[in-house]
Structure formats: structure tokens, C-alpha cells
Structure 1
Amino acid sequence: MYLLTFCCLYSSLMFVYSENPRVTINDGELEGTTMKTKDGREINVFLGIPYAEPPVGKLRFKSPVPMKPWKGTLDATKSHTMCPQRIFFINSEVMGDENCLFLNVYTPKIPSENSKLLPVMVFIHGGGFLFGTGRSESYSPGYLLDQEIVLVTLNYRLGALGFLSTDDDASPGNYGLKDQALALNWVNKNIKYFGGNPSSVTLFGESAGGASAHYHIFSPLSKGLFHRVISQSGTVFNIWAVMPEGRNIKSVIKLAESVGCPTATNMEMVECLRHVNALKLVDDRIFSVLNEAMPLPFRPTVEHPSQNAFLADSPANLFESKTFNDVPFMTGITKEEGLISSSVFANKPELLKKLSRNFNNITALLLWYDHVDDPNTIREQLKTYYLGNKNSLTIEDFPNLINMHGDVAFTSGFDEAVRMHLRESKKPSYAYFFVYQSESSFSELIDPGKIHGVSHGDELLYLFPMGDTLLPHRKETNTDKKVMKLMTAYWTNFARTGNPTPTTDDLITAKWEPVGSDKLEHFFIDAEIQKMKNELLPDRVKFCRELPLKPKKVHRDEL
């Protein structure tokens, strides 16, 4: 969720300006460019393709509108703008432009009349629904396009602009997810012109992007537009992935008051917010607990009944009523999921002291369980289980803080998602545990020069060449290269066949079997060890399963 999609904005691409490729789609002609992959393969690149009208003015806080056709040739050789956002972990200023609903297409070849169409992979970036971008500088195709696939990356609205909801017709919410659904519609109609098969589309994403990909399984707006899903370190069942019932309006009122908008009625409040500068609306610092902690004031939500609802009921209810898009599913976590969020405490004794003094309130907000009926009981259980009920925390407690955050925020949601798919889905589900520890990690961005484990997001380093400038001191080892080959093979095999290991060979030496029982069979991914295991972190998972996380309802008149 925290993934540092955004810090990669300056990574290099190897563009090769030769005769530019051209493609004519339903909306008009595009002129792209070419680049070379990590292994030197020349591919066709089409950047900054608009898939929706700019969501500005009256279209702010509305479902996206498909892009109108254009005349002439659209320049698709340059990166597009990013959506308005602020990157919390570098305490950046807000940046971006509301006219941001663009996507990118990367293809090995422009098809001829009788060409065989290739599987399509559509990537959704993470960033806590607050920040991130699908720009090519962040998610280059340099690894994946050495495989026979077509890759699509995209932008979607973020923060208040993407997820503000009043739980009624004033602003139903889920605009960022609706953007993604419209992008999938675009893929369905146009990807054949790039050599992609619209009947073989795999959605994949990491963190909030993983949860987003998972959400499409439960949306009627996405039905028939995709055929497989990979959710990396994020599912709809993660505690941070959905806004608790009754909490939307609290965030909207706080935002409205901060920019001087009236709050007497929802309609009046939202209409005023339509006229506020977009960058003011995505500045989330008014919601901060600690400067280094990420608030999540705007998230996906169960919408009130309407014709264009993206999510009409909770995923659990939709599972049980068999009202979902049943497709093969793959999901997993890294070994130290809580590392990035916990790293803020690594070299800051004053923050550890602050956490010790106010463990109750800070932990509830940092782990997003402040909405439950009995947060005090949860706090006591967490403190006892992970910290031995200590009242004064030191740096020696850092590994336990990592486990606490990782388990509550990531492992428990992963566990629930796998078990729900096992029980309710007729399609295979595959689970993984990524444990490969390199000499580089995204945790270095929070605690420079130190590797504390396998961080949230570290698996992305082996799917996209993100670390080239994000981690400038990174030296890619031969083992790193092997893991990259493994990861791209697993992911693209799944996109082609619905099975990450349809065959074994010198590279892939073990079969990855689907989950088949409550033992939660999963694939252990390391450089030298590829094998199936049972019972992922059983004691910690059992503890989290028994936490009383029942939400407390809050109504507008209580605020």
C-alpha cells in the first residue's frame, strides 16, 4: 500500500527513436515510440493515451466519461501527467493535474492481419489510494516485455478526488475504481489493435493496486472485462482497503471545513468542493497522526444503491450470495510486510517514546482499527502478544513492531481472501510467500543504508526495473537476475494459462499447486528454494483471526 510507486518517477527508460510505430484505434490514430527491454528486445511503446474525458468541473466527483474521438494523430511518445497527490513518506508538497486519466500500452509487435493475439496484463499501481502513478518512469516494461505479453499501465483518481463519498447521491464514491473499470472497457475495445487478446486479460496490482484488482471481482461494472487476477500484498479484506460504515462523512466534513465549504447538507458541501483547487483537496496532512504515518481518509466504500454503483455490497456478502466474477486468483505477501510503515521508528527514539506514552490512540490509528466496537481490547491483545505488555519501547522492539503491523494490515487480509476463495470460488486460487532478501530493499527509503528484511513491495523489484534510480546504490546481482526471471515467468505463465507453473524446467524446478484445503498451501519463493508449504505463519494468523475487529457504526448526527 505504501509502495513507493511514486519515487520511481525518475528511473530511466532506454528509448530508441527509430521509425515511430502507428496504430489506429476506435478513437483515432496514435503515434508511439520504441524502447529496449532489459534483454535488448525492441518493443513498441504508446504513452499517455487518454481513456476518459478530464474529470474536472462538473465531472469532479462523478463517474468517468469515455474519451471522445480525436482528429489527426495523437502524440503517444511522452509520459502523461500524474493525478493530484502528496507522497506522505517524503512529506512532499502536493503535485499533479486533474487531467490525468491516461494509460500506456507496451507491445512486442504491431499485429498484421493474421497475427496471433497475445495475453494482456493490466497493472494497477499502489499507494494507499492516495498517491502513485502508472507512468512509464515508475513501471517500465523492461522485464515483463521479454515475455510474450502486452502490458497496460494506468492512472486513476486518488485521495478525495478518487474516493470521496457522502454515502448518498451527492457523491457516491469509488471514482478511482470506476476509472479502472473504464480503462478495462478501453482495453476490451482497443487492445486488439496493439496485438493483445481482449479475451485473455489479467489484472494485477500491488498493495492498494492489489486490493483494487481484487475489487473488480465483485463489481458488475467490470464483468467480462478480465479473466484472471493477481493481488500482491493487498486484497479487499485488508483492514485498510475499505472505509468502515458511517466513516465516510466524517472525512468529508473535516475536509470541507478545512477549505471553508459549508457542511449543512451533503449536496451543498459537495458542490462547494467542486470549485476548490484540486491540490488543496488531496493534501491529507489535516488527517495526519504522526508526520511519518499515512492517514487513509478516503478509501473504497460500499455504495448506496444506484444504477452505476461499482460496489453494491460488501465482498463477503457478495461471495456468499455468489454475486461475483469467478476467475482464477493469485495472491501473496512478503516476509516483512510491516517493514516500511514500522521503519519510521527505526532511528527515531523520540517517536518510540511517543508511541509508548500514547500506545492506545496511536496504534489504533496507525493500524486503522479506531472504528471498531472495542479498540481497547484490541490494543491490550496487541501489546501483550507482540510486545510482552511492555510500557516503554526501545529499538529492540523494532522486529516485533514490524510483525504487528504486517500481520494486522496485510497477513490477516491475505489469509481471509485465500480462505474465502477456497470456500466460495469454483476457480483455482494460488498463494505465495515471497522471502527473497536481496542487498537492496524499499525499506532503505525510510531507513537509508539498512536492510531489515523483505519489505512490503520488494517483489516489485523483480517485475519492474524500479530500482535503477530509486535505489541508486543498488547493484543487481546474478541472484537478483535469477529471481527476476522466476517472477516474470510465474506472473506471465499465470496470465497465459491461469497456472503459474504449467511446466517445470531448469529455471522453474517445482510445481506451484493451487490452495486445496484449510492448510493454506502456498508457494515459497526464494532464489534457491521453490517449494510448496502449509500453514503460513499459523500462530500469528490465528491470533489476528481472533481479534474483535467488528466495526462500530457512526452516523452523521453523531459527528
Structure 2
Amino acid sequence: MYLRTLKCLGSGINIYLQSWERHAPVPPESWVGIRNATDDGLSCPQPSANGSYPTSEDCLFLNVYTTALPKNGSNPNRPVIVFFHSGGWYYNSGGSFLHGPQYLLDKDIVLVVTNYRLAALGFLSTGDDVLIGNYAMKDQVATLRWVQQNIAVFGGNPKDVTIAGCSVGGASIWLHMISPMSRGLFNKGISMSMSVNTLWDITKDPVTQAKKQAALLNCPNDTSVEIAECLRGKGDQEIASTYVDMLTWEYQPLVEYTPIIEKDYGQERFLTENPMKTFLEGNFVKIPWMTGVTKDELDPWAYYIVINKTLSEQFYDQFDVLAPVTLQYERGTQRSHLASQAFKEFYLHNQPITESSKRELGNLYSDALIRYGQDMTSKLACNLTDQPVYSYEFEYQGRYSHRYIPGTNTPFGVVHHDDLIYLFYISLLFPEFTPEDPETQMVEKLTTLWANFIYTGNPTPNASEVLNNVIWEQMTTENLAYLSINSELKMKSGLYQDRMNIWDRYFPAKP
């Protein structure tokens, strides 16, 4: 069933701009002859760098996977999927140890997985032309432009490109739909557990953030020039390692660095205005879009608070202050205060946090940071475009998970990233499934749905036994249809609307 031989693994496509002269990426120098590109490039500097994630300043690599190359003047011209990795925009990698192609390439597509700069190295801005910001997003654009120029050599069709990602990778898809830099570079999008909404889609005060980052590195921070000159003398791993100290409370918020609105200094700008304003005005790329969530998303992150008596008491007693930090909505406003009161009553029933409230706290985390953004943007897209929107919830729990119940080998649930287990061979964490493994059927289901969408823009163009003869209905304003992805596929409607309504009430979609 599964692919055993890769015809090509290419890496080393872009170069990294060394030192703290942060600019958009530039192409590498050309070379003549054969270059060995059969191993992963190094990952970008990140706070959790270890033996599993060897890192380097020179980290802008992408991997290309294909099973058919042009031959005798004939090109396979296969559809392409470009995948942007998850990791809160501060960690993770596009390496093959997290995104092995073995499952997806059985579907005769070309797969591209890329690195991009992370945390301060990818996003730090002084709010002026000294350190502009959005470097990570421009790294992603550089990948898409490289695909347009080169993917035909790998048997891919540059006119048939699907961009996909999980978590902040999924959020990146939404931002590329909006960004003027990304126009004409892709045709379809897949956002898995997209962590983007009106609450934290952009960094609104980059100057304060830059000053704090500089202070952590013992740099003067009175002016942008002072900050930049001092940071140029710091190693990239030294800068990346300060990420945890940027956070406010117990490793919260989960995402500290995000894109910014760029002022015009004559450069190409990734975002020229609030992305939600652009989206609501309909000024975005209209494409078939698949978007969804997992059943238990961020429950394990909430459980970390539940099992720590000190943290659970702090969070409950100081909810008005800490909830906006952890759930990443506006702080210190009357609306924030009213929203915090409402959320405390709705989710926690104004009761102290105990083991019995882990489900409710998990829902609060997941709704705030994942589900509301996915729900809001997909419903808006139904109104703003005539292109199909397909929504899903991934509910299948196999033997493996990214999070386990502490002290056991029992999966915590169907948590954030768990759908990736059935799309990629994640050799760092899990075994490669064989036809004898029970997970194999889910691999076949999920890769078939994704491949159908990549080929046609429709995940179920025809009924098939592999997909339980289910036709995945488009989401519409009249029918909030979604596909329940489990051992059996089922169409359902109105995913978590009772909970989404409270978020709509306090944080409706607007710039």
C-alpha cells in the first residue's frame, strides 16, 4: 500500500541572511554540477533546540518529495501541496523526521515542506524601517515563489498548487489568502486547527515587544538603532533561547510572536492593513478551502493547570487578569472584563478549578485559541466567496497521540496535531504504519480526502467505499455542515455553535 522508494528528496533551496540584518530571504547562489540534497537541512533556531532538532542560522531549507520526474520531454505535471509546519511560530521544523512523505506520496502528488524563521528571528519588529518584521511570512512566500519557478523539474504543476498547514501553519494559509505578496502563487488551501482569529492575528504593539526582547539580552532599548545594533552581536540561538522569558505567566501565552502590519518603506509588504479588515472587504484570494479542528485540541495544555493546585487557584482567583493572557484576547478594557466574567460563568460555572472541571477548562482553551477562529473565518468565507468551504472535526483516536495521560501510554484524547499522524510518517515520535496496523484505514481515509481535494478542490468528487460512500457537503450559511472524521465518516451540522455564540457576542469579526 505504501510508497517504499522516493525518487527525489531535495533540500537546500533558500539561504538564510546571517547576522541581525533582518530582511526578506533571497535566492541562493547558483551552482554547476550535482549537489547532494538527500538529507534534511538544519532546523531554524528555537528555544527547545536539542539533539532531535539540530539548528543553525543557515536554516531556510525546503524538502521536495516526488515519485515521478520528467522523462524524454514528458512531464508528469502532478498537483503540488506545500505544507507549512506548526509550532506557535517559535519552534518546530519542516524536516522529514516530522513530515515523512510515505503516506501522501502514494497519491501521486508532489509534496513540499519548508522551514521558516521563528520567534524573534522571524517576527521581531521595531515598528519602523530598522527591523521591519514579518520575516517568517516572507520566507514562506519565498518558498511559494520557488515552487512556481522550479517545481516542474520535480514533476509538479506550478499552476496547481495547494497550500496547507496545521496550527499556526493553518493560520498562515489564511494570511496568504489575504497578503498581496502571495497573490497568484496557489490555487487551494487547507487549514488544520488554524490558530487565527480577531483576538491575536497580529502584533499590535511591536515596539514594546522589541524593547522587552532587547532587555532580556542585556541590550540598550531606547532607540530602534540601539536595539538592532546590539542584537547583531548576539548569536541566533542565544536570541531564540530567551523566548520563554518573553512570556507572561507559566509558559503563557502559547503564541508570543505574530505577524504585524507593515508600514511602507519601499519594501514588499506582507500585510498592509489589519487582515480581518481585508478579509471582511472581500479583498482576498477566493479558493476552495478545507478547514477543521480535532476533538480535544488543547485539553492537555489546560490540564497542566488543573493538576497544579497553585496554578489552578491563581488562574481562578485572578481570572480577569490571567484569562486574557492565556486565551489571548484584549487586556484591560471594559469589554475584556465583561468577556472574562461571562467566560468564567459559562465554562467554569463560577466554581474553583478541580479535576472535575478539566473538560470545561479544556473547552475554554480550545475554543479561544483554535475553534473560534476556525468557526468564524469559515462562516465568513461562506458569505464572502462563491468557492467551496469544507469543514471537519477529526475524532479518530488511535493508539498514538502527541499527548498522553500523565504516567500512562493512553492517549489524552484526539488532541492538537493528532490528525498529522495519519498524513505524515512522523519518525521522531511514531512508528511507520503497515497494512497490518489498525491505523492504516485512517491513513487511507485521510490521505484520500486530502488527495481528492488537492486534485479537484473537492474532497469527495465521487462516492467510494474507502470513504464509506459519504459525500462531504460544503459548508453554507444555511447549513453549517461538517464532516465527522472517525472510523466511520459522517456528515453533521452546527459544530459547537452553543459555545461559539458567546465568542461571537463579545468578539465579533471586525478589524
TM-score of the two chains, using structure 2 as the length reference: 0.92
Matches of 1:149 and 1:287, distance apart in 2: 40
Paired residue secondary structure (2:376): helix
1:97 CA displacement:
1.2
The reply on whether 1:488 has 2:447 as its aligned counterpart is: yes
- Match of residue 69, structure 2, among 89, 99, 110: 110
The reply on whether 1:121 has 2:84 as its aligned counterpart is: no
Matches of 1:462 and 1:96, distance apart in 2: 26
Q: 1:19-41 deviations in whole A, cap 9, x for unaligned?
A: xxxxxxxxxxxxxxxxxxx7243
**In structure 2, do the counterparts of structure 1 residues 372 and 225 end up closer, same or farther at CA, with 3 Å as the change threshold?**
farther
One-letter amino acid matched to 1:535: G
Q: Retained in 2: the 8 A contact 1:372–1:551?
A: no
1:504 equivalent in structure 2: 463
- Match of residue 278, structure 2, among 303, 313, 318: 318
The reply on whether 1:218 has 2:178 as its aligned counterpart is: yes
The reply on whether 1:80 has 2:41 as its aligned counterpart is: yes
More displaced 10-residue stretch of structure 1: 264-273 or 158-167: 264-273
Matches of 2:347 and 2:42, distance apart in 1: 43
Paired residue secondary structure (1:324): coil
**In structure 2, do the counterparts of structure 1 residues 74 and 486 end up closer, same or farther at CA, with 3 Å as the change threshold?**
same
Paired residue secondary structure (1:205): strand
1:539 CA displacement:
0.5
2:429 equivalent in structure 1: 470
Matches of 2:53 and 2:398, distance apart in 1: 32
Paired residue secondary structure (1:379): helix
Counterparts in 2 of 1:46-445, with a 5 A limit? Answer: 46-51=9-14, 53-57=15-19, 60-87=21-48, 96-112=55-71, 113-234=73-194, 236-237=196-197, 239-243=199-203, 245=204, 247-283=205-241, 284-306=243-265, 307-345=267-305, 347-371=307-331, 373-374=333-334, 375-390=336-351, 392-444=352-404
One-letter amino acid matched to 1:142: Q
1:65 CA displacement:
1.2
The reply on whether 1:544 has 2:503 as its aligned counterpart is: yes
Q: 1:317-373 deviations in whole A, cap 9, x for unaligned?
A: 212333222211110111112223213235433432333343333322111125362
**In structure 2, do the counterparts of structure 1 residues 49 and 191 end up closer, same or farther at CA, with 3 Å as the change threshold?**
same
1:451 equivalent in structure 2: 411
Matches of 1:119 and 1:205, distance apart in 2: 17
1:446 CA displacement:
6.7
One-letter amino acid matched to 1:48: S
**In structure 2, do the counterparts of structure 1 residues 327 and 472 end up closer, same or farther at CA, with 3 Å as the change threshold?**
closer
Q: Retained in 2: the 8 A contact 1:54–1:100?
A: yes
1:445 CA displacement:
8.1
One-letter amino acid matched to 2:19: G
Q: Retained in 2: the 8 A contact 1:82–1:133?
A: yes
Q: 1:185-224 deviations in whole A, cap 9, x for unaligned?
A: 1111000001000000000000011111221111121111
Q: Retained in 1: the 8 A contact 2:196–2:370?
A: no
**In structure 2, do the counterparts of structure 1 residues 235 and 425 end up closer, same or farther at CA, with 3 Å as the change threshold?**
farther
1:6 equivalent in structure 2: none
One-letter amino acid matched to 2:229: E
One-letter amino acid matched to 1:540: R
**In structure 2, do the counterparts of structure 1 residues 304 and 379 end up closer, same or farther at CA, with 3 Å as the change threshold?**
same
1:531 CA displacement:
2.5
Matches of 1:491 and 1:70, distance apart in 2: 36
Paired residue secondary structure (1:313): coil
Q: Retained in 2: the 8 A contact 1:50–1:103?
A: yes
Matches of 2:428 and 2:41, distance apart in 1: 20
Matches of 2:153 and 2:259, distance apart in 1: 32
**In structure 2, do the counterparts of structure 1 residues 522 and 551 end up closer, same or farther at CA, with 3 Å as the change threshold?**
closer
Number of aligned positions between the proteins? 506
Paired residue secondary structure (2:82): strand
Structure 2: 5+ residue stretches without partners: none
More displaced 10-residue stretch of structure 1: 198-207 or 531-540: 531-540
Q: Retained in 2: the 8 A contact 1:95–1:279?
A: no
Q: 1:443-463 deviations in whole A, cap 9, x for unaligned?
A: 228775343321111111110
Q: Retained in 1: the 8 A contact 2:379–2:476?
A: no
Matches of 1:238 and 1:208, distance apart in 2: 14
**In structure 2, do the counterparts of structure 1 residues 303 and 534 end up closer, same or farther at CA, with 3 Å as the change threshold?**
same
Paired residue secondary structure (1:101): coil
Structure 1: 5+ residue stretches without partners: 1-37, 553-559
More displaced 10-residue stretch of structure 1: 61-70 or 404-413: 61-70
Q: Retained in 2: the 8 A contact 1:45–1:104?
A: no
Q: Retained in 2: the 8 A contact 1:372–1:550?
A: no
Instruction: State the identity %.
Output: 33
**In structure 2, do the counterparts of structure 1 residues 364 and 547 end up closer, same or farther at CA, with 3 Å as the change threshold?**
same
One-letter amino acid matched to 2:491: M
One-letter amino acid matched to 2:4: R
Q: Retained in 1: the 8 A contact 2:125–2:131?
A: yes
TM-score of the two chains, using structure 1 as the length reference: 0.85
Q: Retained in 1: the 8 A contact 2:425–2:431?
A: no
Paired residue secondary structure (2:304): helix
One-letter amino acid matched to 1:57: S
Matches of 1:146 and 1:483, distance apart in 2: 14
